[in-house]
Structure 1
Amino acid sequence: MISKRSRRAIGVAAAVATAFSLGACGSGGDAAADGRVHVTFWQQKFEDYQQEWFKENVEAFNASQDEVTVDLQVVPADTWEQKLQAAQAAGKQPDIATTSYGNIKSGVAEGKFAPLDEFLPAEAFSDLKENVAPFVTVDDQHYAYPMLVEPSTVLYYRSDLVQKAGLDPDSPPESWDELLEWSKALTKDDVKGMTVASTAADLSWSSWGLQLNACGHLPVADDWSAARATEPCFAELADFYKELYQEDLMPQQPKVGYADGQPYGEGEVAMMQGGSWVVGQLKNDFPDVVDKTMVAPFPSADGDVTSTTSTLGGWTLTLDSKSEAPEEAAQFIEYLLAGDPEIMAGFFKETGYSKYTVRGSVDEILADDPEASADPFMAVISEQVVPYGQAEPAYPYDIALAMGTALESAMKGTTDVDGSLQTADDAINDIIEKQKLSGNATS
């Protein structure tokens, strides 16, 4: 799947493709009139500051080379799939592309990507964080190089409102029961205690970490042979959402979706379940709230703060399996993502420390950076959330939506918990049969 979290988090629907130093759109390899090998790099459009960062670093790489030029093309997210598929059909796919974690293993199964191991030094891969390396690994080979991770689930809370409610902001809730208690204590007048996803579309992906926390697995067998949505642990998760909603501890009709921190920034809620990207939104749009905000790992079912409550989405660079210039393309991937850690440290500074590193060496750079170490959110998220995050599932989004629909139905009382989960179970089994998924798991 192209992850829903990745689509929504970056918020990148843009109108028109922009090209920087744009050359031919096909795979590179042949020397152009300038005598240099041209490598094409398609980058899905992200925030403006990211576009500038990519542009600057492509130009820096090109200036450092005598024989290679990277031609960068920026493609809007809403046309990405169509444009990429058309290029692949015409044999003009880019040598390098930004690829989400959720698309790596299915792409490998389809023969789209070349392994990077023969082109990058071994230390480039040993530098990767232990829980992130498997996201890009198939049969002991690395088919992408990670750029960043974004945890889908972090607990944000207003320290001033917490204190007024007689709670200790330095001891945030660690279990679902404690979170419910805090939510009740913080619900006052026009301010709700908590906000979480409340629509099927948002619950479909934002609940992955909590599904893993509740059950240790997702609502489908590891080999995608059968649904598992009716297991009692999923009922416990549905009950958690149901109590938050039906006890009126959260907005009943939120103005925006889960990915948007606006209700928290505007003071409508005292606590928020949100992705790490909300850090950047608060800093940019609600700076007055930043000093009053604290973050913590999202509470777990049993209070274990080291258990998974978040999935990790994010982006990588992949090398096309049909590239005619694989060495030159891999040279750029190494330069940008796997080489001098100062390059990526600069990127995370540009993000306002709202995205998180995948390399130990970059962590070391940031630890020595006074600005990074002083950031009120970075240490907590990078040290207490990222290490325990798991990959987003690679199964078809239809399965995720079936579970999200069940959680919304149970939350809002449209159907009882058991009935909602049974409907999801039936839907997932139907998806497995119709899409012939059994035994074809790519994760």
Structure 2
Amino acid sequence: MGFNVSRRHFLGAGTGLAAAAVLTACGSGTPGEPAPEETTGTGGETSGGESAAAAVTIQFWHRTFTPVENEWYANIVKQFNESQSEVKVVGTEVPADAWDQKMKSAQAAGKAPDVYTHPGAIQDGVNAGQLRELNDIVPQEALDEIIDAALPVSAVGDKYYAYPLLLEPQTVLFWNKTMLEAAGLDPEVGPETWDELLEMCAAIKPTLGEGQYCIQPAADAPTFAWSTVGQQYNFAGHTALTDDWTAPNVENPEYAALIEGYKALWDNDYMPKQALAAYVAGNDYGEEKVAFKVSGSWMMSEIGSDFPDLLGRTGVGRFPTAAGSDRTTTTLGNFKWVVDAKTANAEAAGKFLAWSIAGDPANLVPFFVNTQFTKVSVRQSVQDAVADDAAAADAPWSDIVTNEIAPDAISEPMYPWDVSLAVGTAMEAGMKGAQPIDVALKTAADTIAQVIERDGLAEKAPN
């Protein structure tokens, strides 16, 4: 189950109601609010048993993820608190749809949590002075364990600002073997190219009932923006900017061909006109409304927990490629832990981070096993421990995700979100026919040129 990838030049998400936050007697249940005074026992000890004077309390926020992930977060906080008496961690789960607002409000008020989860690139956070360097609060041997594939989202130069919990391919093709078989197709083999995908959809469409479709891919501008970066690279051999970040690089036949593929899905009613579920969710697939579903590798975890009868009937493979291309079709998403630059308890925050996700691999094995082997650790020692778990033999998709899809994936782009969104907007407009594809790409290029000038991107291009 190894995952060894060379460092590349190129560099989401949870739904549902928040579960109860993991709180100790000293903690606040409201994100952004300070913890109340600790309650002490008759011997001058806190409710956790440690000396009230000695314990340093730090706040840790994470988004609402899947139930098994939320349970792991609760347990890792509990286990850390029970393992020592110097630091008390108060864990708070924040609904994903409220995260941005709560975090911005807390940062503006100077009440950001000491440690929190962070997706995507770190460059903007580093430039804004929001993230604290980890080199002096996390052991160097722990930082050295981070594999090359995760370095672009962990460090700027030789300074580390984040410690990743996981990497996960953002674009994976899932298919219902029963629905493919009903269409006379080989249920064990997914499409390798876009042409094959369209041919298979043509065969599947006549077999579908009302409300069923061949495929549910990304369908809106923001989702296209982040989920298709690997596809852009697959078609064009580059992403949305020139290598020196001086100009947009989207007005070309390759980008047009990518949009034409989605337009074919749209025009032939192979995909629904109204998305049946969010890209990050799997309920449309679980309810067998689609034969193919495009999502991140994390979706298999949802299928395992909510639709277990489909596990054995689900095919997993690489998203189709452009004709004649053998380049990757996916980017590596990630979730990292970071320390707030303004924390007054940096050393305590570093101890928690180092113990929980940079320490004993046994702390992390339950996370990767209980999420159905759909994510990749950034530490080889953890990968090996996960592969040795008895349940790994019952998760054949793990080898596909880890060794066939993830190894050549590119990292998420380091350029600003507005660049990606311009491409996503062009893809939606071209797919739906709101604009001719060439016009949509011209609009994207003009928008990207404005971002380049506004943000001085030519001076920020990676080496």
Write out per-residue CA displacement over residues 148-204 of structure 1, whole angstroms, 9 at most, x where no aligned residue: 123211011122333344433444322222222222222223253333122223222
C-alpha separation in 1, matches of 2:228 and 2:309: 29
- 2:292 maps to which of 267, 271, 287: 271
CA 188–286 in structure 1, closer or farther in 2 if over 3 Å, else same: farther
C-alpha separation in 2, matches of 1:157 and 1:132: 29
Write out per-residue CA displacement over residues 69-99 of structure 1, whole angstroms, 9 at most, x where no aligned residue: 2222333334433433343344433221211
> Following superposition of structure 1 onto structure 2, how do residues 271-310 of structure 1 map, counting pairs within 5 Å?
271-302=292-323, 307-310=327-330
Q: Match for residue 41 of structure 2?
A: none
C-alpha separation in 1, matches of 2:96 and 2:186: 42
1:43 Cα deviation from its structure 2 partner: 2.4
Q: Match for residue 391 of structure 1?
A: 411
Deviates more, 1:13-22 or 1:364-373: 13-22
User: 1:291 is paired with a residue of what secondary structure?
Assistant: helix
- 2:172 maps to which of 147, 154, 157: 154
1:296 Cα deviation from its structure 2 partner: 0.6
Conserved 8 A contact 2:331-2:409: yes
Q: Match for residue 228 of structure 2?
A: 207
CA 12–354 in structure 1, closer or farther in 2 if over 3 Å, else same: farther
C-alpha separation in 2, matches of 1:291 and 1:382: 19
Q: Match for residue 143 of structure 2?
A: 125
Conserved 8 A contact 2:130-2:341: yes
One-letter amino acid matched to 1:10: G
User: 2:174 is paired with a residue of what secondary structure?
Assistant: strand
- 1:379 maps to which of 399, 421, 435: 399
1:437 Cα deviation from its structure 2 partner: 4.6
CA 333–300 in structure 1, closer or farther in 2 if over 3 Å, else same: same
Are 2:107 and 1:107 aligned? no
Aligned-pair identity (%): 39
C-alpha separation in 2, matches of 1:65 and 1:15: 26
How many residues matched?
431
One-letter amino acid matched to 1:93: A
User: 1:46 is paired with a residue of what secondary structure?
Assistant: coil
Q: Match for residue 427 of structure 1?
A: 447
1:376 Cα deviation from its structure 2 partner: 3.2
> Following superposition of structure 1 onto structure 2, how do residues 24-39 of structure 1 map, counting pairs within 5 Å?
33-39=52-58
- 1:365 maps to which of 375, 382, 385: 385
CA 22–77 in structure 1, closer or farther in 2 if over 3 Å, else same: farther
- 2:15 maps to which of 2, 11, 16: 11
> Following superposition of structure 1 onto structure 2, how do residues 60-71 of structure 1 map, counting pairs within 5 Å?
60-71=79-90
Conserved 8 A contact 1:16-1:76: no
1:434 Cα deviation from its structure 2 partner: 4.5
Task: Show structure 2 runs of 5+ residues with no match.
Answer: 1-11, 36-49
User: 1:324 is paired with a residue of what secondary structure?
Assistant: coil
Q: Match for residue 3 of structure 1?
A: none
Conserved 8 A contact 1:148-1:355: yes
User: 2:337 is paired with a residue of what secondary structure?
Assistant: strand
Q: Match for residue 38 of structure 2?
A: none
- 1:175 maps to which of 171, 181, 193: 193
1:292 Cα deviation from its structure 2 partner: 1.1
Q: Match for residue 415 of structure 1?
A: 435
C-alpha separation in 1, matches of 2:306 and 2:55: 44
Write out per-residue CA displacement over residues 241-263 of structure 1, whole angstroms, 9 at most, x where no aligned residue: 12222233222333333223233
Q: Match for residue 42 of structure 2?
A: none
- 2:74 maps to which of 50, 55, 75: 55
Q: Match for residue 115 of structure 2?
A: 96
Write out per-residue CA displacement over residues 314-371 of structure 1, whole angstroms, 9 at most, x where no aligned residue: 2111122333332221111111111111111111222233333222111111211121
Q: Compute the RMSD of aligned alpha carbons.
A: 2.8
C-alpha separation in 2, matches of 1:310 and 1:198: 16
Write out per-residue CA displacement over residues 252-306 of structure 1, whole angstroms, 9 at most, x where no aligned residue: 333333223233222232222221122122223323322211101112214655x
Are 2:208 and 1:187 aligned? no
Task: Show structure 1 runs of 5+ residues with no match.
Answer: 1-5
**TM-score w.r.t. structure 1 length?**
0.88
Deviates more, 1:324-333 or 1:256-265: 256-265
Are 2:322 and 1:312 aligned? no
- 1:328 maps to which of 348, 359, 370: 348
1:438 Cα deviation from its structure 2 partner: 4.7
User: 2:249 is paired with a residue of what secondary structure?
Assistant: coil
User: 1:399 is paired with a residue of what secondary structure?
Assistant: helix
CA 390–32 in structure 1, closer or farther in 2 if over 3 Å, else same: farther
One-letter amino acid matched to 1:337: I
CA 187–361 in structure 1, closer or farther in 2 if over 3 Å, else same: same
